[in-house]
């Protein structure tokens, strides 16, 4: 450790990495700019670089969070995790730039001076030594109940929902997964009674959100604990009302807010989100499901896919093309609130009095079972004018309303990833501590210790990054950071759950052990709420590069 401040070298190395990342950002921004705007075609010509930069910047934001956490909660394990996380970034960034510095218009001598000086090299060697990982693992195994860093109120919320997840959710999780059952009604009713559907809805509309200030952290904490119990049974139940309520608060009329938000908050009305289409996933500008004006409303036609909970939901938040001119792109999209009866099976069909029809078929999935994701077809399905989000003034603004909801949804996805990772880490620590191989507990082996310690580091880093993003969204900031944390947490959730399986050996591959479910559930995080590649390229990289260009213009 370093003198009187164990984090001093970590901060110095972190700032060096930030400086180089800033130079990389400036170079790429200039390379893909046409005038003062990011040109999509030019960005696509540098996709690999843009992807790498988006991941790097996301990791640096995560590093900022874990360093701050280690300062606030200065325990040896927290400091060691912060040091190791920064050291890994320095190691990877050095490898990426030493042979490609010229491609980023950075002098290789600058890279060596920033990242390979004697102090930084010594720091990295110490922070990533096998002995240091072994110490981290020993601390973790000795005290596996992690410090979340929450205040008293949110810690109380966490413990209450952990009890609920342990007693009500976890016991049914494996049955629902194995048989691809629908979430038990008693779970939905209990989640409703606990107020979970109203976590992002202001108190004046019957929710739990204070009217005078936002509290995204409460939503995050609840989501994390429910996901720890089961992603498919409970962890995603509140995502869809989160998205729709944020969209309503952003663009809904007064009448729509008064009508829909209390119903969503109470759980009286359950909702699903219908955005993705077979040929258009994260590229929403190309959506083709049409909304054609008719007397008193609109007729929806076309197919949506990956409409999670679409069967049991009472209302679908449908992003559809209200302007037939495809050249309008996202400016031709509007949001329609299409109501339908509840269905419990894997398929449904409903015909309106006027002849409009909606049908759905559940998609067989590797994991993330319980809510069921549907292909949905609309045939002249009628939606009244009163259920166009924002009224007639909301026509053409659906993309913007959706993005408001999806920022919260992406933050919530990071929380879900943290919950699944926590469940995997809990099982891995318990199994590795008890199971003996060649006469020793698995946890005592050097490689196992590295796995356990690194799993804990990745989880705690993602968690603190998620909490920091929640605070930013409370202040109506952090849209890019919410995408970054979703990108980062989704990527590492696969590694953490994979290693939890690996530590179980053959038992990890058996369905009777929960870790196999965690692994297949974690795979979905990098796909939904914005596929990893599109999120990195068209959201994180594009927005960061545009911000750099805007700042340069303001200074000129």
Residues 200, 241 contacting (CB under 8 angstroms): yes
Residues 320, 328 contacting (CB under 8 angstroms): no
User: Which one, of 420, 449, 409, lies nearest residue 228 by Cα?
Assistant: 420
What is the DSSP secondary-structure string of 64-122? HHHHHHHHHS--HHHHHHHHHHHHHHHHHHHHHHHTTGGGGT--HHHHHHHHSSHHHHH
Tens digit of each residue's pLDDT (9 = 90 or more) over 117-143: 999 999 999 999 999 999 999 999 988
User: 214-219 contacts: CB < 8 A, separation 24 or more?
Assistant: 214/473, 214/474, 214/475, 215/474, 216/408, 216/411, 216/469, 216/470, 216/471, 216/473, 216/474, 217/150, 217/154, 217/467, 217/470, 217/471, 217/474, 218/154, 218/157, 219/408, 219/412, 219/415, 219/470
Residues 238, 412 contacting (CB under 8 angstroms): yes
**Backbone torsions φ then ψ of 295, nearest 5 degrees:** -60, 115
d(CA 35, CA 38): 8
Residues 405, 247 contacting (CB under 8 angstroms): yes
86 pLDDT higher than 80: yes
Domain assignment of residue 166, yes or no: no
Domain count, the chain: 1
- Which member of 529, 532, 533, 551 is catalytic? 529
Res 281: pLDDT: 53
End-to-end CA distance of the chain: 44
Residue 383 sits in a domain whose CATH number is: 2.40.110.10
Tens digit of each residue's pLDDT (9 = 90 or more) over 497-510: 999 999 998 888 87
Tens digit of each residue's pLDDT (9 = 90 or more) over 251-303: 999 999 999 999 999 999 999 999 988 876 555 666 788 999 999 999 999 99
528 pLDDT higher than 60: yes
Q: Dmax of the chain from CA atoms?
A: 77
Domain assignment of residue 342, yes or no: yes
In degrees, rounded to 5, the angle at the alpha carbon of residue 210 between the alpha carbons of residues 314 and 488 is: 70
Percent of the chain with pLDDT over 70: 98
d(CA 120, CA 84): 12
In terms of residue numbers, what domain contains 317? Answer: 271-399
Res 406: pLDDT: 76
Domain assignment of residue 365, yes or no: yes
Domain assignment of residue 266, yes or no: no
Domain assignment of residue 285, yes or no: yes
Domain assignment of residue 344, yes or no: yes
d(CA 19, CA 308): 42
Residues 61, 43 contacting (CB under 8 angstroms): no
520 pLDDT higher than 50: yes
pTM: 0.91
Mean of pLDDT over the chain: 91
d(CA 232, CA 521): 8
d(CA 522, CA 530): 15
547 pLDDT higher than 90: yes
As a whole number, mean pLDDT of residues 406-432 equals: 91
Res 286: pLDDT: 67
Domain assignment of residue 345, yes or no: yes
Percent of the chain with pLDDT over 90: 70
As a whole number, mean pLDDT of residues 141-167 equals: 92
Domain assignment of residue 118, yes or no: no
User: Which one, of 500, 514, 520, 497, lies nearest residue 369 by Cα?
Assistant: 520
The answer to whether 529 is a known catalytic residue is yes
């Amino acid at each position: 450790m370093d003198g009187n401040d164990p984090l001093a070298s970590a901060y110095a190395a972190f700032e060096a990495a930030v400086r180089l990342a800033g130079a990389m950002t400036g170079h790429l921004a200039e390379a893909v700019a046409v005038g003062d705007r990011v040109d999509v075609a030019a960005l696509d010509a540098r996709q690999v670089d843009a992807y790498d930069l988006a991941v790097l910047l996301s990791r640096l934001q995560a590093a900022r969070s874990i360093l701050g956490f280690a300062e606030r909660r200065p325990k040896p394990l927290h400091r060691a995790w912060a040091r190791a996380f920064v050291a890994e970034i320095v190691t990877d960034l050095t490898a990426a730039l030493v042979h490609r510095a010229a491609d980023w218009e950075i002098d290789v001598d600058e890279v060596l001076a920033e990242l390979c000086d004697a102090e930084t090299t010594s720091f990295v060697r110490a922070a990533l030594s096998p002995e240091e990982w072994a110490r981290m693992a020993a601390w973790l195994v000795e005290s596996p109940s992690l410090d979340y860093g929450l205040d008293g109120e949110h810690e109380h919320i966490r413990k209450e929902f952990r009890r609920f997840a342990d007693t009500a959710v976890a016991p049914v999780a494996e049955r629902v997964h194995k048989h691809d059952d629908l979430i038990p009604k008693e779970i939905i009713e209990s989640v409703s009674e606990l107020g979970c559907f109203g976590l992002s809805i202001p108190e004046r509309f019957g929710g739990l959100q204070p009217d005078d200030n936002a509290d995204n952290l409460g939503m995050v904490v609840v989501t994390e604990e429910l996901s720890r119990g089961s992603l498919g049974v409970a962890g995603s139940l509140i995502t869809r009302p989160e998205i729709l309520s944020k969209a309503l608060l952003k663009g809904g009329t007064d009448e729509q807010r008064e009508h829909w938000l209390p119903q969503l908050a109470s759980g009286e009305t359950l909702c699903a989100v219908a955005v993705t289409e077979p040929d258009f996933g994260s590229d929403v500008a190309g959506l083709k499901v049409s909304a054609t004006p008719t007397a008193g409303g609109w007729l929806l036609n076309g197919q949506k896919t990956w409409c999670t909970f679409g069967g049991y939901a009472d209302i679908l938040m449908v992003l559809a093309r209200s302007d037939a001119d495809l050249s309008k792109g996202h400016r031709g999209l509007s949001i329609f609130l299409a109501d339908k009866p509840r269905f419990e099976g894997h398929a449904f069909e409903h015909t309106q009095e006027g002849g409009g029809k909606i049908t759905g078929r559940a998609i067989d999935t590797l994991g993330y079972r319980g809510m069921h994701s549907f292909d949905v077809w609309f045939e002249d399905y009628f939606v009244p004018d009163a259920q166009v989000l924002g009224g007639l003034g909301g026509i053409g603004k659906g993309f913007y309303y959706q993005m408001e909801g999806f920022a919260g949804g992406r933050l919530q996805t990071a929380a879900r990833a943290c919950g699944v990772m926590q469940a995997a880490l809990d099982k891995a620590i318990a199994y590795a501590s008890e199971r003996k191989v060649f006469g020793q507990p698995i946890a005592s082996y050097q490689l196992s210790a590295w796995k356990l310690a690194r799993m804990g580091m990745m989880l705690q880093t993602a968690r603190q990054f998620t909490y920091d993003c929640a605070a930013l969204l409370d202040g109506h900031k952090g849209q890019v950071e919410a995408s970054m944390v979703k990108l980062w947490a989704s990527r590492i959730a696969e590694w953490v759950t994979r290693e939890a399986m690996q530590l179980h050996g053959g038992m990890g591959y058996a369905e009777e052990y929960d870790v196999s479910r965690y692994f297949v559930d974690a795979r979905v995080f990098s796909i939904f709420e914005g596929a990893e590649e599109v999120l990195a390229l068209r959201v994180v990289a594009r927005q960061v590069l545009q911000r750099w260009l805007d700042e340069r213009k303001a200074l000129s």
